[in-house]
A and B are shown apart, each in its own frame.
Chain A
Amino acid sequence: MAKHVVSTVAEIPPGARKVVEVAGRSIGVFNVGGEFFALRNRCPHQGAALCTGQLGSAVTSTGPGHYQVDRTGEILRCPWHGWEFDVRTGQSWFDPKKVRVRSFETAVAPGSTLIPPSPGLVPGPYVAETFPVSIKEDYVLVEI
């Protein structure tokens, strides 16, 4: 497993997302209320680009005619058949135990911690060869 720099924090403000290619996989990175989540950009149903779907709310109900709306922006709907996934965990709504999309650990790190202190030292547990890093920015990392 390695941590991959995928974005600056500034590029993905709260409510936004970015689809990136990391280690041969397409991954969607989401900012939900300041926290970052990463999901495989491939719906387990028929392979749609899941992370490009609509973000909505968790809709529950106590009975016919009642609609409870919570956690707005945290439920991802597949652009094809509308399967709902919890952005935080990757679990599907309709069968959280058995149907999910792969989710990945994320982290935020300042640029200063990502640039090797000097030549010759073993670089840190990150991969940034395709992503230019500056000490002035904070970065989102996805662990794959």
Chain B
Amino acid sequence: MCAAPDIPLAPRVGQPSTLIDCDIHNAITPSALARHLPERWRAYHGQFGRRMTPGDFYPKATPMASRTDSWPPGGGPPGSDLAFMRKQLLDAWPIEIGVLNTLITIRNQYRDYDAAIAVAANSCQIAEWLEPEPRLRASLLVPFEDSELAVAEIRRHSADTRFVQVLIPSRTSEPLGRRKYWPIYAAAADCGLPIGIHFGGWSGGHPISGAGWPTYYLEYHTGMNQTFQAHLISLICEGVFEEFPKLKIVFIEGGIAWIPPVLWRLDRSWRQLKAENPKLSKAPSEYFREHFWLTTQPVEEPPEPGQFLQMLSHLDMDDHLLFSTDYPHWDFDSPDGALPSVMGTELRRKVLRDNARRLYRFP
């Protein structure tokens, strides 16, 4: 495999001098995880590991769903080598801060084991990513289907400001507005941490769509927004933001163009169906615009540039958009190649840097 070219791309007009990447996937290998597992779990993990029974295997477009040029020359899977991540990402563009979202799957089987994996993964992140690389921040992995254990892990790291959010994958066993998850929201809000919901996870017991199991990976990927849609509707309708007015949610890798039509539909139907749902004191779209942030990758690519601006105008959340690359996945967005040129300088600066700085309270 040939090396990436050394010739830098010409910077786009209007790019800010630095940028913040809100979605990077560091890969924690089994051996890295083992280094941080206590002996009781290291033996268990080595001998039994996590059972593979979800029955939802869609061969991804590329090995490990990653850019085919992102395999570290020294070995290991994409995203596992910090030095190579620096070369391909952190140093290749003027990235001031990168937020890690580790995608080790919490399997919702043996809860204590789930918790042990999350604890070890977080320790690994500190030792092998955050300590050596001051530009990085991380998301807290928690056993989210067990709120007691999840809250314990949140509290354990609440003083470490390098953990900037609590991570929950979007494929959960219930819609995220449900009460079983509320203790997690209470703890997160209390600690000033947003909840980052990232596409993916284990099946949680359900097919990946509301009409059963699709056939192709293309369907799987195109339907990514549907888990987010279900959670958007659930979090709002269950009154989570009445209960936790300080709670913030980040949708990571969910896309953004699908949102305005959902808000139009939800507002209209809420007006019709208010009596069934007494928890809300204002229109659903108001809760959404106040409490939700959205990462930009995979960037929307309408056929006409003007439609991108229409979409942003319909969304009306310029201050809540967060640039992300999703490195090293194949649907990666390049910091200077993804956002369309119709975006003006001021909006570009907000999306590439200032909104993230404000949300995550970076200095």
A residues at B contact (CB < 8 Å): 17-19, 21, 24-26, 28, 41-42, 45-49, 51-54, 77, 79-82
- How far, in Å, is A40 (CB) from chain B's closest CB? 10
Give every chain B residue within 8 A of A45 (Cβ-Cβ): 337
Give complex CA distance A42, B5 in Å: 9
Assess whether A54 is in contact with B337, with CB atoms less than 8 Å apart.
Answer: no
Q: Which among A41, A54, A81, A82 is the interface contact of B5 at CB below 8 angstroms?
A: A41
- How far, in Å, is A46 (CB) from chain B's closest CB? 3
Assess whether B61 is in contact with A24, with CB atoms less than 8 Å apart.
Answer: no
Give every chain A residue within 8 A of B109 (Cβ-Cβ): none
Give every chain A residue within 8 A of B68 (Cβ-Cβ): 52-54, 77, 79
Assess whether B7 is in contact with A47, with CB atoms less than 8 Å apart.
Answer: no
Give every chain B residue within 8 A of A42 (Cβ-Cβ): 5
Contacts A46-B334, A47-B336 given; does A19 touch B62 at CB 8 Å: no
8 closest Cβ pairs, A-B complex: A46-B337, A26-B5, A79-B69, A79-B68, A46-B334, A47-B337, A52-B2, A19-B2
Assess whether A25 is in contact with B9, with CB atoms less than 8 Å apart.
Answer: no
Give complex CA distance A111, B159 in Å: 68
Contact pattern, B 1-32, Cβ under 8 Å of A = 1, otherwise 0 = 11111110100000000000000000000000
Give complex CA distance A25, B9 in Å: 11
- How far, in Å, is B29 (CB) from chain A's closest CB? 22
**CB pairs A–B below 8 angstroms (9 shown):** A25-B7, A41-B5, A47-B337, A52-B1, A52-B68, A54-B68, A80-B330, A82-B61, A82-B62
Give every chain A residue within 8 A of B9 (Cβ-Cβ): 47
Give every chain A residue within 8 A of B332 (Cβ-Cβ): 80-81
Give complex CA distance A48, B68 in Å: 11
Question: What size tier do the contact residues of chain B reach?
Answer: 20 to 34
Contacts A21-B7, A52-B2 given; does A47 touch B67 at CB 8 Å: no
Assess whether B61 is in contact with A47, with CB atoms less than 8 Å apart.
Answer: no
The yes or no answer to B153 lying at the interface (CB within 8 A) is no
The yes or no answer to B338 lying at the interface (CB within 8 A) is yes
Give every chain A residue within 8 A of B3 (Cβ-Cβ): 19, 52
Give every chain A residue within 8 A of B331 (Cβ-Cβ): 80-81
Give every chain B residue within 8 A of A80 (Cβ-Cβ): 67, 69, 330-332, 334
Give every chain B residue within 8 A of A51 (Cβ-Cβ): 2
Smallest CB gap from A41: residue in B: B5
Contacts A54-B68, A79-B69, A82-B61 given; does A49 touch B330 at CB 8 Å: no
Contact pattern, B 147-164, Cβ under 8 Å of A = 1, otherwise 0 = 000000000000000000
- How far, in Å, is A79 (CB) from chain B's closest CB? 4
Give complex CA distance A45, B334 in Å: 10
Give every chain A residue within 8 A of B330 (Cβ-Cβ): 80-82
Give every chain A residue within 8 A of B337 (Cβ-Cβ): 45-47
Assess whether A49 is in contact with B338, with CB atoms less than 8 Å apart.
Answer: no
Assess whether B69 is in contact with A49, with CB atoms less than 8 Å apart.
Answer: yes
Give complex CA distance A24, B10 in Å: 12
Smallest CB gap from B69: residue in A: A79
Assess whether B7 is in contact with A48, with CB atoms less than 8 Å apart.
Answer: no
The yes or no answer to B114 lying at the interface (CB within 8 A) is no
- How far, in Å, is A99 (CB) from chain B's closest CB? 12
Max chain A C-beta neighbours (<10 A), residue from B2, B9, B332, B336: B2
The yes or no answer to B333 lying at the interface (CB within 8 A) is yes
Contact pattern, B 316-356, Cβ under 8 Å of A = 1, otherwise 0 = 00000000000000111110111000000000000000000
